[in-house]
Chains A and B, each alone.
Chain A
Amino acid sequence: MYAVDPRRTASAKFADLWLGLDVGTDIALANAMSREIISSDLHDKEFIDRATVGFEAFAAHVDYYTLERAAEMTGLQADAIRELAHEYATASTAQILWTLGITEHHNGVENVLSLCNLALLTGHVGRWGSGLVPLRGQNNVQGGGDMGALPNKLPGFQDLSDTTIRSKFEAVYGREINPTPGLHLTLMFEAMERGDLTALYVIGENPADSEADVEHARKLLNELEILVVQDIFLTRTAQLADVVFPATVGWAESHGTVTSSERRVQRVRPAVDPPESCRHDYEIIGDLASRMGADWNTTTPEELWNELRSLSPMHAGMSYERLENERGLQWPCPSLDHPGTVYLHSWLWEDDLDGRDPAPFSITNHEGPKEQLTDEFPLRLTTGRTLDSFNTGVQSSGYESPIRSGSHLEISAVDAVDLGLVNGERVVVSSPRGSVQMNIKIESDQAAGLAFSTFHFPELVDLNVLTNDEWDKRSGTAEFKAASIRIDKLPLGTSHG
């Protein structure tokens, strides 16, 4: 196990080797690994010939990324990059797992594509034990996308622009479907800024705490003509709302399904009775539709699910009975006699590729974070999560964790000495977008120049005031992982750390 992370996390300590690269240099590392694999003749030529396209151009492109250059760009040792490349290429099976450290960058999609290149180069994809594994951060973020909560997709990732697909849905929904793609979250905020979007209905999300450059996001939410929030608590977003719909706790108070990182659809069931004032999400949405003159004629979660199965081929075989008996099923599961699909892309190993187009190599370039370090803001801030807490703390603040230590700014001993700071000292942390006060925690494992904190405790430390809302134009994800900051001591007499 190899851990690639700017911070020496618990996983990194567990790994055989930790590669503590500089924030935002993943492409340099991946491209150098690709170059090393090719130049050492460790790539899977048979797989590349059959299943991929664009290898020659890719090989020529990554030739620039020598071990020495990559070492310069990433801050890693050339030997470590070489070892990882050789171990990955020669393993009988290998997986690359990642989460937001890859995607929360202005070029997150390119980061992902550079990892896909490695899998295509070595054939570590589409077969048992090998693969590319983006680990999902929420219990149903996969399910949300699957259900069509994407601007250009209908449920089951079916294309909104396809008239045949649309008419299939229109026949069941009994109305015309607008063929124009909607906006994703980041574009919605831009539309709010332009004044094009004036009404917002937020369900189970807390953007007033979770958005990058959060003061700006709050201003835009405040300026809406109407904000409707449906949630289990009066979150900071709900406090800004004109109307709040009190909702039940989906996983413990109502029936339904969620879909995990491995595409496994599983049943949630009510264990406790909700408070009288709270209603299920599907009831609230259904009643809202009724007030708007629609008659959806679907009353239970199972009926809704069966309607979905009739429209989404990849879910067609997943009856409630099967989900119950087989403890969940992994899509695609197109028929009642289909066992579900443990891993995707096995067609890459079929002689005719199952009639599909070969998988393309992608040309990606090392760029580094959008926000460069300057004399004014000389430290790199990266944000993340801790084991016992979850995102903006709406759920995890409900219990007292003995291992929770609050929201510190973790810095290296080197920087602490440079800045004359002691452990626990309260300081002012500023980025080009704003300032917050927080306490310093000196971490012996932290790289010099790197600062880390979480946004689990927005009521104590409003960390997203600092983060950068530069975002990836293809994914819509903001660069939470790389801002530039400065640390200032509090003026004498004001310290109460």
Chain B
Amino acid sequence: MRRIAYLFLAAISLLGASGSRATAATRPHYGGTLRVMMQSAPDALTLPANATPADYWDLARTLSLVGDTLVSLDAQGRPQPTLAVAWQSDPSTRRWQLTLRRGVKFHDGSAASPAAVAQILGALHPAWNVRASADAISIETEPATPSLLAELALPRNLILKRNTNGIPIGTGLFLVADWQPAKLLKLAANEDSWEGRPFVDAVEIEFGKSLHDQAIALELDKTDLIEAAPQAATAPQGHGASSSLSLPVELLALVFSTNSKAQDPRVREALALAIDRKPIQSVLLKGAGEPAASILPNWMTGYSAVFSAQANLPRARVLLADLRQPALNTSYRLSYDPRDPQAQLIAERIALNAREVGIAVQVSLSGAEDIRLMRVVLPSPDPATSLGEAARQLGLPQSESSTPRSNSVDDLYQAERGLLAGYAVIPLFHLPVASAAGARVRGWTPGPLATWSDAGSPLSGIWLETRAEAGTR
């Protein structure tokens, strides 16, 4: 079922391999400061629950430089040891035990002991019963949590302490050297990292830079690592720069507000059938993203083709023909996230599509919205975890029917159908996340899940080419 995903991953890997130009002639070496730019401008180094996708990825990447999760998931969703080296659960998946890596220390020199880790996890999840033993922690949950490891791999479960100023203290490759809220974060290499010292001495992250500014800065060699628009990532990079495009890890969808004037499911279905996703993808998204009618992307589930994303105007008109006049004469207000550079055009195109079948949709940022164009994060390669997270971000009510009972595909499919019933949400596109690195960056192996690395800690293998080396190349 996941064959398509593996093929996609293979392509991404090839792209990544082509982007990594480390040769035998140029060996990795220590030193240098990696310059990074990001769109978001956080006031604090925390990951808020309602973060926008851009903020989510920026903060997740930043915090993952400072801290580690207990486990991590690879692109296939398989758990990999990080701070925990072994794990097991009882058959009911209510009780888990994770054996921790020995000798790990926080940046302040304190040991990342089972007790310290249990305290941090317990604070993050008051509903869990987290207990520490000699070299392990046990977690008891109610109800059963078959996806506990996927949950623990999420950036919100990074094992981080905080000093009195709220600065995170973790076990990661880098430690916080200077923090200017919303502007600049300086990280220094952690000499005592359990993964070993990173090649670069420091990382400087500038916040609040638009994608356009980041692209120009990269072009002018004023930064080393940036975010990029997905469509830009597919274009050829000049000046030795390389780019990376993740698997689709975001969902763009229309969500009907609870007090929307469009309460009739036929209106919602007609709108879903009226939307022609192809022109949006080809023109407005410049080919990036995949038209979608499901919440989860195909690489996660393998069944998304079951949900048709084809426009069907005749069927939409038939549905609307059954409606009474008031529903037809109503104008529905469609809002979008003004910080999303593509959202306005996509919303306007949807309004055009809707008017084509006779649904009056006005794109507006003022007044009470009936429909919202939302971009949400699918944070985990584990489909059940991503489905739950997507439903939470979309504000969908999660009932028993919309929660998978197990990690089986059938249960997942039924749960997703439950969430899509009634057309409270109309999935539009699954979107990737893109990054780009400058010419002097070496050893960059971006992962397919919008992380900065496909294995181990992010940026652990990166080293910076000197001017002399560049000259010999």
* Same complex: no
Q: Which residues does B use to contact A, with CB under 8 Å?
A: none
Q: Which residues does A use to contact B, with CB under 8 Å?
A: none
